């Protein structure tokens, strides 16, 4: 994709008016508006703010990095996932993760401590699925599977927990 022309002057005013009207008409997803005009969500937020539109804070956090980070952390503590934050704010997954990581609010356990392997194995042997264990620990399916294999667990075939006899 080629470089985009800067939004300046009359062109910026036309796009700003179009975005403001679409926002007033009920299109509150910044990503949808951004794709309509072929711009990044951050640019759309700035243009809307410049147009005097009061943005819904949940759908569109502030413009500065500090404001964005603060709002993302606040929403994350209410239990929203990174994917939900991405959908609500129009920021990319990478941007959301970066802001949360910079604020120390991103739970990214990359490995499961050796001390926890026995407990994982016990719960898995008790019928809990690998996906459930991964969700509970906040890590990936593969990370849990690797820890279970290292703990000496005999892995069930796919879907076996639902077909217990």
What's phi and psi for 139, nearest 5 deg?
A: -135, 180
**Lookup result for tokens 């951050």:** 42
Contact 26, 66 (CB under 8 A): no
Report the candidate in 66, 74, 73, 63 with the shortest Cα–Cα distance to residue 30. 63
- Percentage, residues of the chain above pLDDT 90: 13
The predicted pLDDT at position 123 comes to 95
**Structure-model confidence comparison of residues 162 and 99, the more confident one:** 99
The rounded distance, in Å, linking the Cα atoms of 109 and 22 is 41
User: How many other CB atoms are there within 10 angstroms of residue 66's CB atom?
Assistant: 11
Buried b (16+ CB within 10 A) or exposed e, 22-56: bbeeeebbbbebbeebebbbbbbbebbeebebebe
Write out pLDDT tens, residues 114-143: 888 899 999 999 999 999 998 888 788 888
The predicted pLDDT at position 110 comes to 57
**DSSP 8-state secondary structure symbol assigned to residue 163:** G
Positive or negative: CA dihedral 69, 74, 75, 78: positive
Q: Hey, where are the domains in the chain?
A: 1-57, 61-108, 114-163
For 60, half-sphere exposure in the C-beta direction (CA atoms, 13 angstrom radius) is 23
Contact 56, 23 (CB under 8 A): no
Chain mean pLDDT for the chain: 78
Question: pTM to 2 decimals?
Answer: 0.39
For 19, half-sphere exposure in the C-beta direction (CA atoms, 13 angstrom radius) is 32
Write out pLDDT tens, residues 2-13: 445 566 788 888
The predicted pLDDT at position 2 comes to 44
The predicted pLDDT at position 28 comes to 64
Query: 59 pLDDT exceeds 60?
Result: no
């Amino acid at each position: 994709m080629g470089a985009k022309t800067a939004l300046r002057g009359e062109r910026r005013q036309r796009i700003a008016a179009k975005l403001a009207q679409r926002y007033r008409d009920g299109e509150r997803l910044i990503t949808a508006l951004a794709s309509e005009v072929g711009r990044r969500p951050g640019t759309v937020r700035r243009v809307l703010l410049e147009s005097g539109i009061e943005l819904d804070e949940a759908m569109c956090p502030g413009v500065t990095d500090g404001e964005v980070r603060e709002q993302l952390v606040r929403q994350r503590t209410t239990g929203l996932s990174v994917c939900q934050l991405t959908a609500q704010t129009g920021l990319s997954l990478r941007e959301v993760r970066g802001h949360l990581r910079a604020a120390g609010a991103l739970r990214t356990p990359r490995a499961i401590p050796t001390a926890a392997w026995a407990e994982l194995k016990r719960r898995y042997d008790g019928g809990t699925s690998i996906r459930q264990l991964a969700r509970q620990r906040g890590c990936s399916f593969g990370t849990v599977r690797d820890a279970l294999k290292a703990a000496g667990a005999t892995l069930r075939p796919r879907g076996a927990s639902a077909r217990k006899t």
